[in-house]
Structure 1
Amino acid sequence: MPQLNPNPWLFIMTMSWLTFSLIIQPKLLSFTPTNSPSEKSLMNTKTPSWPWPWT
């Protein structure tokens, strides 16, 4: 069963993981988000109860 042979796939997976973690990820993390999250005030809104006709 050739799919159980880890020889070519282990190297490909390791190299792609290293490429992502060492090259691509720091470049992506250096970008600043354009819409930074704003501080929302915590408002507790009480929703009115539903007027069920059969109660």
Structure 2
Amino acid sequence: MPQLKFILWFKILIYSWIMFLVFIPPKVTAFVYSFLPNPKTTKKTKKGPWTWPWH
């Protein structure tokens, strides 16, 4: 049974982790956002006390 052979599934496990840790992170971190937020459009919130009636 191939599931019980340690070397077979261990190789697949190691190769998949190498792929996830070596090849994929540089591709994800190199992603460039097409929309950069403009700091001029941000609004400051008004900070004040709550006016909720407490019963």
Q: TM-score, with normalisation over the residues of structure 2? A: 0.48
Give the number of the structure with larger relative contact order, counting CA–CA contacts within 8 Å between residues 6 or more apart: 2
Of Structure 1 and Structure 2, the greater helix share is in: 2
